[in-house]
Amino acid sequence: MPWNPKQYHKFQSERSAPFYDLLKLVEVRPGIKAIDLGCGTGELTRVLADSLPGSDVTGLDSSTAMLDAARAASYASSSLRFEQGDLSNLTGSWDLIFSNAAIQWCENHESLIPHLFSRLSQGGQLCVQMPSNHNHISHMLIRETAREAPFDKILNGFERVAPVLSIDQYTKILFDLGALNIQIFEKIYPHVLENSDAVIEWISGTALVPYFERLGTHKDEFLGVLRGKMKKALPESPLLYPFRRILFSAFKARPLS
Ligand SMILES: C[S@@+](CC[C@H](N)C(=O)[O-])C[C@H]1O[C@@H](n2cnc3c(N)ncnc32)[C@H](O)[C@@H]1O
């Protein structure tokens, strides 16, 4: 997908709040091998690496543009490297697998979570944060617009349905994997934005990305229709944008000695 680092950074402080909540769940142990899945432009991976003294941290992302931005900002160091790859095919053994706002782009979490858990070393920790706001009116209006003419034909019937499960389902998956110290919660981040156009600006860096990729020259036309619908649905200014997210942490057992 054509990720755009500039667009993604427009709401940087709002987007980083859940990262710091996720970081609070990390058990700081010296000298661990950690990976940040879907590290994006890397500044938060740098914060993660700085909070893990003596550790060896890898930032993994599939987007060349995001990794180029990370490299240009010189976040890499002797303790932090960036690599390109698909997080759903993660290999290696890790003491900490961390992922902030990325796994919602991967399908089939019923098999993804067990796969990530299988890559933990004994006693290792899995920490994940992902948006669960796919039922917000903005997302419903994107899907509605995509189903309408002329966009249904332009998009070839494409509509993105979020693969994100409920917290009950993640809890069960983790329990069935034998995970220990499971902590899981859903939290609403109440962002105050200027108006519905600001919500569109926000989702232009995330939820709209797969649509932009397919809309080509029809992108502005799609945005125009969406803007009209959003203004009607959310006429207030300032506007409350209640952003719902899931956070969890779980550990792999150590063998009995
Ligand atoms: C919303 S950004 C989050 C970036 C960063 N973690 C942060 O908190 O700012 C999502 C990132 O996940 C990456 N991504 C999406 N699917 C991926 C995949 N299958 N494997 C690796 N990275 C992926 C995207 O390229 C993008 O950089």
What residue spans define the domains of the chain? 5-251
Please give the chain's pLDDT, 257 residues, in tens. Answer: 666 766 656 667 777 999 999 999 999 998 999 999 999 999 999 999 999 999 999 999 999 999 999 988 888 899 999 999 999 999 999 999 999 999 999 999 999 999 999 999 999 999 999 999 999 999 999 999 999 999 999 999 999 999 999 999 999 999 999 999 999 999 999 999 999 999 999 999 889 999 999 999 999 999 999 999 999 999 999 999 999 999 999 999 987 76
Cα 57 to chain centroid distance, Å, stands at 18
What is the distance in A from the centroid of ligand 1 to the CA of 59? Answer: 10
Cα end-to-end distance, the chain, whole Å: 46
Let me know: does 182 contact 175? Beta carbons within 8 Å: yes
For residue 114, the tally of other CB atoms under 10 A from its CB is 13
Pocket test for ligand 1, best of 7, 13, 36, 39 (most atoms within 8 A of CB): 39
CB of 102 within 6 A of ligand 1: the answer is: yes
For the Cβ of 5 lying below 6 angstroms from any atom of ligand 1, the answer is no
Residue with CA nearest ligand 1 atom 11: 38
CA of 9 to the centre of ligand 1 (A): 13
Are the C-beta atoms of residues 133 and 244 closer than 8 Å to each other?
yes
- Quick one: DSSP state of residue 11? G
Q: Which atom of ligand 1 is nearest to the CA of 19?
A: 8
Instruction: Please report, as a single letter, which amino acid is at residue 240.
Output: L
**Predicted pLDDT at 1:** 65
Predicted TM-score (pTM) of this structure? 0.92
Collapsed DSSP state (helix, strand, coil) of residue 182: strand
170 alpha carbon – ligand 1 mean position (Å): 20
The finding on whether 112 has its CB within 6 A of some atom of ligand 1 is no
Cα(105) to centroid(ligand 1), Å:
8
Topology of the domain comprising 5-251 = Rossmann fold (3.40.50)
Q: How far is the CA of 184 from the centre of ligand 1 (A)?
A: 21
β-pair partners for 190? 242
pLDDT of residue 3: 63
Nearest CA to ligand 1 atom 25: 63
Specify the pLDDT at position 7: 63
Separation of alpha carbons 158 and 214, rounded Å: 9
Residues 130 and 245: beta-carbon distance below 8 Å: yes
Which atom number of ligand 1 is nearest to the Cα of residue 40?
27
Distance CA 45, CA 60 (A): 10
* Element holding 207 (H helix, E strand): none
Q: 45 and 66 in contact (C-beta within 8 Å)?
A: no
Of 194, 235, 86, 219, which Cα lies nearest the Cα of 142? 219
* Cα 64 to Cα 40: distance, rounded to the nearest angstrom: 10
